[in-house]
Amino acid sequence: MTALRFVLLFFLISFSASAQKDYKLWLQYNEVNNAVLVSEYRNNLKGITVLGNSETIKIAEKELKAGFQDMLGIASEIKSDIKEENTLIIGSQSNLNAEIKKELQSDFGKINEEGFIIKSISFKNKKQIIISGKNDVAVLYGVFNFLRILQTNKSVKNLNIADSPKTNIRILNHWDNLDRTVERGYAGFSLWNWQKLPDFIDQRYIDYARANASIGINGTVLTNVNANALILTPQYLEKVEALANVFRPYGIKVYLTARFSAPMEIGNLNTADPKDAQVINWWKNKAAEIYKRIPDFGGFLVKANSEGQPGPQNYGRDHVDGANMLADAVAPFGGVIMWRAFVYSEHDANDRAKQAYAEFQPYDGKFKENVIVQVKNGAIDFQPREPFHPLFGAMPKTPLMMEFQITQEYLGFSTHLVFLPKLFQEVLESDTYQKGKGSTVAKVVDGTLYQNKLTGIAGVANIGNDLNWTGHPFAQANWYGFGRLAWNPYLDSETIADEWLRCTFSNHENVIKPVKKMMIDSREAVVNYMTPLGLHHIMDTGHHYGPGPWVSNLSRPEWNPTYYHKADKNGIGFDRSKKGTNATAQYSAEVEKLFDNVETCPEKDLLWFHHVSWDYKLKNGQTLWNGLALKYQEGVNQVAEMQNVWKKTEKYIDSERFNEVEMLLEIQYKEAKWWRDACLLYFQQFSGKELPKGVEKPTQTLEYFKSLKFPFAPGNG
């Protein structure tokens, strides 16, 4: 072998090994390096006893064998009966020995159909660890959680865990088009290769299902909310069926987006009126056709009468008419309709932030029981920070489903490190006060505030066919964190960051402690260098890449950043108080009072609810202008600190991922400065004030920043 060929071969092997780490997400199963723990694990896990032989149980068995081999160097022998001490027993309730069932009787009373038990027990005077649940998918959830215990280097002595998901539907919304482009996707093309389906099953489909099952996600909407009716034709339903067959053993149901005009586009009808008998019958027949292929099909997600999408209002009907017509079509099969509340109209002179509430709140209690209304976390559109959506808590007779955006449409795409579980937690912990103090958004979403039976959380996926799935290694944490919070909306984002880091990178404290803090602080850093003090929607037009607070020439007023910040010589901010659009009145009395008064409004939301003078004194004594400028600078400084933190981890992280993150942080630092300089130069025209001490002076002119164009920014298809 020539020297050159040897070098090339070595490079390819090295690249393959490190690239594989990127592909494995949080399921690295790295070797446990703690000798004391290795000894404990080996002593307590001398074998695996598997009760049951379903496809799901076989997956759980395979996962355990891989985990034990990679983490502990144990090649476990699988047994079907319990003979030895210190074995791991896995099996659903129906497959358990009567004696073990009796031992776990009270534990089974603590879990729901998807919950699992991980418990140290004594069986015939022998110590064992049992993983069980009421069905095989629940057992699989338990197996992944048990492997996470090993991954995060926790003890397996005296285990006593009974855990259930707090929401029914834990789902990813893929905004994937049939041509494999992904709207607001920043990690390559769509995973779904429709051209090769149904006969070619890509390994990625299996690995995708595995990753989702490991964090308890139980549903996937395969297609964009800006829907294409072709997905409902037999040609495509055959392909959807193939994916459903792959996902089923992992506990994942498939859902599709229903284009409201489908009866006309693929059904040869001359209307899509939800009150028309032919239309009603068409949807019933279509539902029956789908369920014949896919008996566990989840149902439809619908975007109607929003941003040009067809809907019931085209025919003088309302959202209730449209949702209930579809609900009747899927009800005989146990299907659900997820009806999006993201509506706003160019014909409505109302403040855009008020429109969804005004349109949907009067429909409370009018939807069928298998309809759940999907509401974005804030009233505008997935901004770096928004107050919680006023609909949460305002529709006690209607199940409301949270919609988060995992993909970073407004947060720097996949080039910026932003740990979104911090944002998700902030929203979920927000108090609606609808039934007094403690009426949090989380309690609305999980059904406990109003005893709703149908519950759910959706996340707009950040997944593409990039090698590392999400474009940025740390963007994987947002997928992971979404799944964990969908399972339990009360989890702390620090706990999630800790888990993800240990599973993905290292258990070394020199990584965990500083990088966890970096992750937790990263969301606030982005808010600071993009939209501090309640500013919002000042991104450039269309692609939402980079700053564009000057944009004012779009055909619809509410598409223009100037609509949202309203900067003038007197000050800046959108007045949503009683003196302005009175959007604050859409909240409960306690929250309204807090937001409506400029003195009590949290400063993080100040410019969302108030138009404030440039000389207004903030709580730290700074004028608004100085405080705004210093926030922008603080954001830049925070990214510089993120770079310093990451540099110190080099000897603990594989070079491939270390270098990748280092380069991306450099992009983020440059773009944070771009945001700071462009925004401050623009707003300075109105304030007429000098930049305060401590804020770096821009090196480019405002005209330079205005001249930048990005015709091929990703995700804008």
Query: Beta-carbon neighbour count of residue 175 at 10 Å?
Result: 23
Cβ proximity of 109 and 98 under 8 Å = no
Count of helix runs (H) and strand runs (E) in the chain: 23, 16
Element (DSSP H or E) covering residue 301? strand 299-302
User: HSE-up of 391 (CA within 13 Å, CB side)?
Assistant: 32
Distance of alpha carbon 34 from alpha carbon 154, whole angstroms: 11
- Under DSSP, the state recorded for 127 is E
| Residues marked as catalytic | 307, 381, 409
Q: Are 118 and 156 in contact (CB under 8 A)?
A: no
Residue 547 CB contacts under 8 Å (≥ 6 apart), including other chains: 530, 538, 539, 540, 674, 675, 678, 679, 682, 705
For the chain, how long is the longest CA-to-CA vector? 82
Burial readout 88-120 (b: 16 or more C-beta within 10 A, e: otherwise): bbbbbbebbeeebeebbeebbeebeebbbbbbe
Q: For residue 60, give the amino acid letter.
A: A
The Cα–Cα gap between 589 and 433 comes to: 8
Q: What is the CA radius of gyration of the chain?
A: 26
C-alpha span between 118 and 142 (Å, rounded):
7
- Written as one letter, the residue type at 653 is I
**Spatial distance between the Cα atoms of 521 and 288, rounded to a whole number of angstroms:** 49
Query: Backbone phi, then psi, for 83, in 5-degree steps?
Result: -120, -35
Q: How far is CA 389 from the centre of its chain?
A: 17
The gap between the terminal CA atoms of the chain, to the nearest Å, is: 48
| DSSP structure string for 276-294 | -HHHHHHHHHHHHHHHHH-
Under the phi-then-psi rule, with left for phi > 0, alpha for psi from -120 to 50, and beta for the rest, what region is 608? alpha
Cα 715 to Cα 711: distance, rounded to the nearest angstrom: 11
The amino acid present at 240, given as its one-letter code, is V
Helices marked H in 295-360 — which ranges?
Answer: 319-330, 352-360
